[in-house]
Structure 1
Amino acid sequence: MDKEEREQLESNLLNVVFASKDLTDSDAAALERELKRDPNNTEAHLSLFGYHTRTKNKVKLRPIVVREILWIIENLGTVSAPHMLSTLATRLRPKEFAIARERWLALIEQHSENANVAGNAGYFIIWFDYETGERQLRQAGRLDPGDIRWSSRYAQFSLFEFRYCADIFKEEFAKKTIAAALHSLSIEPIGSISHFAHLEIAECALFLNDLDLVGYSAEQLSYDSYGPLIQYSNCLYGLIAVRTGNIKDASEYLLKLDKGFIWQTCVRWLAEELLAAGERKSVAMAIQNLTSARKIRKAIGTKWLQQVKDGEKPSFEDLPGNWY
């Protein structure tokens, strides 16, 4: 199956799942009857999967959801569409996840040279078993090095680990994230995935204090027409400035909020580093601007301004901010 055929199949499968939002309880019952007649009816399985994963969590429906997840793994694991299962891994109980994990590993044994199987398995397993999931995503990348899906997903999960792991492991995951994101950019230098790659690179490069790499991603993001990405780029330039002792330029970058103008994580980072360098005026102005534009609730903005005035560190944790 070539790439075009695979993508068409994936699209068809996902369309069935998305169409399930219009199903009723009686439709679902009819599909169950159809499965008794034809246990391998792909459309019926996908429709029930989509229908039951969209309904509110009901204990009596849980076995059906798990049944459909296992069926999709065993019958569609060789194509890419099972990535739709990935986030559902987080909703499985430990015993259910263990069963699904074993089904994936059995499929890997049967299709040891299939990048889709390795990648789909890794994307699912990595939520609760990072080591095994990482190994499979890396294997998928080796089997099909020109497919951006595997490196981009590996970068995504490495970034999650970087954010939430113990401090002793942060450098390791920062380097893994950057390597995977750079590989994605070598495959697709322009496009939606490239935006995420530069955001991933910038965040981890800031941690490593690799300012050349931060500057590279800041420049690439600045070419975008999407306001929040331009603002993110400005903040990256501001962080480079503050870390090289140029407080004046850093302050100006903080106040360049006209194109993005939302409370972002990178705005918080820049504000925190300016405060640590003793610069309070521009931080207060940025808070005032964002509060006036209703990007920060008035009560929070007023509180932060008072904290800045009193020489305290604002409680930015009150509002974590958008990543971009």
Structure 2
Amino acid sequence: MPAIWVYSEDIIITQQLLALGRELADKMQAQLCAFTLNGEGATSLIASGADKVFSLQGNSLWPESYAQSLADFAAQERPEAIFIGATQRGKDLAAKVAALIKAGLVTEAFAIRLVDGSIETDRIMYGGLAICTDTLVAPAMVTVPARTYEALAPDPTRTGEIVTLDVTTDDRVSVSNVCPIVREGADISIADKLVCVGRGLAKQEDMKLVEDLAAALGAEIGCTRGIAEDYHWLPNDRYIGLSGQKIKPSLYISLGISGQVQHVSGIRDSKIIVAIDTNENAPIFEAADYGIVGDLYEISPLLTEAIKKAVK
């Protein structure tokens, strides 16, 4: 029976991949299999759409150490597609497995579909200036960013098979110490609403305008790369763009941001984009659903007051 495999070391991303896998598996009449290094979460993956869960048991905590074992298993079982979460470790694992089984690999796909019996993907190229469409032959290997798909509502009545596999891991490289990233405030990559500020803000003291608007909306604050790396007004984990955070909020409001392609590539998945800038020809307006040509120092306080009145 044909099969589709999904894996991420982050169980939330695995559940999102299962939503994609479930849709394709039903169309292909294939079995949907999830892989995990944590056997305790296997039941939740069945509830999220998996037909079978393979719990890999090895002597390593690091996903990339399982590349050879996963490749050997793929060569034996010959799945139609393998979808891996595009985390740093996931991308490393996917590249190693693809090389070992001599399969093509599409990275950071934002759309995946079945066309004439083949897997077809879309991914962004040249910093958002172009979209590349690839058609893959089995085994189709694809890395998928977090939140590209919405996880299915868990169904505790679903049944499936849980299989424990004892595997050999690659222990040539060991990790002796892990230093977690300390975030200042919330993770903006998962925020539902965002107010983002750019170089249109004249001085750091004026951040109060941005903070007031964000507070009225119940939103988090993001920024462009210049605000974080050049001015140091906000932490680096707050800047949005090609080399920064990629966001997918229901509402994104930009203040004084021209909208260069590097920034727009990080906000393109926002459901509603609102842009405020003095330059009516600013590129940000091409990406925006709603635009206000005006001075953020005038517009932002008015918008804040209007929102406060609306939510009373």
Q: When you count strand as a share of all residues, which structure comes out higher?
A: 2
Relative CO higher for 1 or 2, CA cutoff 8 Å, sep ≥ 6? 2
- For the criterion TM > 0.5, the same-fold answer is no
With normalisation by structure 1, the TM-score equals 0.29
Q: When you count helix as a share of all residues, which structure comes out higher?
A: 1
